[in-house]
Chain A
Amino acid sequence: MKTEVKADPKAFVTLRFAGDDLDPGEITRVLAIAPTRAHRKDEFYFAGKRAGLLRGRTGIWFLATDELVPSDDLQEHLAFVEGLLYPQSGDDRRITKLRALLECTNSRAHVTCFWRGDSGEPAPEISDGFKSATASLSADIETDFANKNSRVG
């Protein structure tokens, strides 16, 4: 079944693992999902019709949920990422494998949260549950929240 993806979602989350010695294929094997983009350091990758082939500045495994979760609700995007890390409640085998991979390649985990609200709409919150789920990877969580008519980048 094909997931119906919103053309212009107001919220999504990205998960990335980055490091000069990272082999993104190892991350794919652990998380069992195709990344949005993945390459080793100095490897050329296709970045789009206009950008063409670009050289990887570092090793990257990158996933954006906007093409996977058909929702404007940031919580659903966070839940999707949490489900990748913990496919079953209490099952931390993926986390254990990821920590080992990150340690031996001196790589880091990062989460970013994107949200654009209407004027006056309150910004979503990152739940404590999600924070603790990613804390075991020492992942930083960056928020890019703004309301309509504020700066857009």
Chain B
Amino acid sequence: MAPDLGDFLAACKPSEFALPITSVSSSLMPYERTRILWSRPGNPPASIARTLGLEARRFSRALHKIKAAADLSGTDHVIIYTDGTVTDEQGEPIGNLYDED
């Protein structure tokens, strides 16, 4: 049987539950929220490398190796995320750009 928390919850003000945002350590976050940076066939522009904080040649070398090792050609469609993850067109992970340094 689920405990009845009605009285407890009613007695607390919302501010007693909430922590100020400055007190939350980033290390406590379960994972970094990612978003898609690139989702097209072919070569991404330099802005994608800059967004990931990677030097252009290092970025392109890493992407080339990830695609080749996954049996994809340069013209094949891949998806690049803000955490460096690269997936194929179906969303299956094939590598991470930061691993290729």
B69 to chain A, nearest CB (A): 5
**Total A-B pairs, Cβ < 8 A:** 105
Q: Are A112 and B74 in contact, with the CB atoms below 8 A?
A: yes
Among B60, B68, B95, point to the contact of A152 (Cβ < 8 A): B60
Task: Number of B interface residues at 8 Å Cβ cutoff, please give it.
Answer: 35
Task: Number of A interface residues at 8 Å Cβ cutoff, please give it.
Answer: 34
- Interfacial chain B residues near A16, Cβ < 8 Å: 68-69, 71
Residue of A nearest to B61 (CB): A114
Contact mask for chain B residues 56-74; partner A; CB cutoff 8 A; 1 contact, 0 none: 1111110111001111011
- Interface assignment of A36: CB less than 8 Å from any CB of chain B: yes
Q: Are A50 and B98 in contact, with the CB atoms below 8 A?
A: yes
With contacts A62-B68, A112-B74 known, what are 16 further pairs, Cβ within 8 A? A9-B61, A12-B61, A16-B69, A48-B98, A50-B83, A54-B93, A57-B71, A57-B92, A57-B94, A60-B69, A60-B70, A64-B65, A112-B64, A114-B60, A144-B64, A152-B57
- Complex A-B: 28 CB contacts under 8 Å: A8-B58, A14-B64, A14-B69, A16-B68, A16-B69, A18-B71, A48-B98, A50-B85, A50-B96, A51-B85, A51-B96, A54-B93, A54-B95, A57-B94, A62-B68, A64-B69, A110-B68, A112-B74, A142-B74, A144-B74, A148-B56, A151-B43, A151-B46, A152-B44, A152-B46, A152-B60, A153-B42, A153-B64
